[in-house]
């Protein structure tokens, strides 16, 4: 299906880098990363049914989200960008890099699978069915437990509270449609079309499917490296911001310099 274009936000000047957020939040997820991206033009937007982007009338797929991103960038005049995606955003980033290899200069995949194992697919089916009726609150505690280590949750603080508020502020139907897309997601068959230099980032304490996927991507993609954040679970971008920023900026600047030789 064709998704309506969201609003593309641009910050800074330099090499364009597109940041794709995870499920249940919006582009503000990246606020802590923006100051580190000096010398880059940072592009962000909200996925359908997240933040300020309206909820679609019909279900969509990861392929639809990748097509939406490609069209959004084309309409804005971008011919090449770096793409960074976390979880849901990481799946979209992989699909975009596979479908439009000339568009994606460098790829960063953070805490994302290639395809979900059946127990997690069942979880997404359950949430897709329940969220329109019950709202997102029943899924808050499981989400925070996936995102943060037990010590960080016990400690609390502004990072955890900000994630809590962002999740509870989300649209229940938008969340359900995204869960449905995740349940159906599978980029296994297109990985061999990814040619961009790739950084794979994962929390050392993330759930086993994400850890396994990080290792798999590091082995299967032709020009990939893997960085582990520790201690961190699924939201290492938030839990270990300095480690993540160092890995991200180091990769982008290093590969940019190599491309200029």
Task: Give mean pLDDT, residues 79-91.
Answer: 99
What pLDDT score was predicted for residue 261?
38
Residue 260 pLDDT level (bands cut at 50, 70, 90): very low
Chain segment 8-56, per-residue pLDDT in tens? 999 999 999 999 999 999 999 999 999 999 999 999 999 999 999 999 9
The dihedrals phi and psi of 17, each to the nearest 5 degrees, come to -135, 125
Q: How far is CA 122 from CA 19, 49, 147, in A?
A: 28, 22, 19
- Cα separation of 72 and 58, whole Å? 19
- Cα separation of 131 and 125, whole Å? 10
What pLDDT score was predicted for residue 259?
53
What pLDDT score was predicted for residue 258?
62
**Position 231 pLDDT exceeds 80:** yes
What pLDDT score was predicted for residue 257?
62
What pLDDT score was predicted for residue 2?
78
Instruction: Report all structural domains of the chain as residue ranges with CATH numbers, in order of start.
Output: 9-260 (3.40.50.1820)
Give ∠ CA 114-225-250 in degrees, rounded to 5: 120
Residues 6+ apart with CB under 8 A from 93: 20, 83, 84, 85, 104, 107, 108, 109, 112
Predicted TM-score (pTM) of this structure = 0.97
Residue 44 · residue 27 · CB < 8 Å: yes
- Report the 10 Å Cβ neighbour count for 194: 26
- Report the 10 Å Cβ neighbour count for 12: 16
């Amino acid at each position: 299906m064709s998704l309506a274009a969201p609003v593309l936000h641009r910050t800074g000047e330099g090499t364009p880098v597109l940041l794709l957020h995870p499920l249940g939040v919006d582009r503000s997820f990246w606020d802590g990363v923006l100051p580190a991206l000096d010398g880059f033009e940072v592009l962000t937007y909200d996925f359908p049914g997240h933040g300020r982007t309206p909820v679609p009338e019909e279900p969509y797929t990861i392929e639809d989200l990748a097509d939406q991103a490609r069209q959004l960038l084309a309409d804005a005049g971008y011919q090449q960008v770096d793409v960074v995606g976390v979880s849901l955003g990481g799946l979209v980033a992989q699909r975009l890099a596979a479908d439009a290899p000339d568009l994606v200069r460098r790829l960063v995949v953070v805490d994302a699978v290639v395809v979900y194992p059946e127990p997690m697919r069942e979880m997404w089916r359950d949430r897709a069915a329940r969220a329109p009726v019950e709202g997102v609150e029943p899924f808050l505690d499981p989400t925070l437990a996936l995102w943060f280590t037990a010590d960080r949750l016990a400690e609390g603080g502004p990072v955890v509270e900000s994630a809590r508020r962002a999740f509870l502020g989300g649209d229940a139907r938008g969340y359900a449609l995204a869960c449905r897309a995740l349940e159906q997601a599978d980029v296994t068959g297109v990985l061999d079309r990814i040619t961009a230099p790739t950084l794979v980032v994962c929390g050392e304490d993330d759930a086993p499917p994400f850890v396994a996927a990080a290792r798999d991507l590091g082995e299967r993609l032709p020009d990939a490296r893997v960085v582990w954040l520790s201690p961190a679970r699924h939201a290492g971008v938030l839990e270990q911001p300095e480690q993540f920023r160092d890995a991200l900026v180091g990769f982008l600047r290093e590969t940019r310099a190599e491309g200029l030789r």
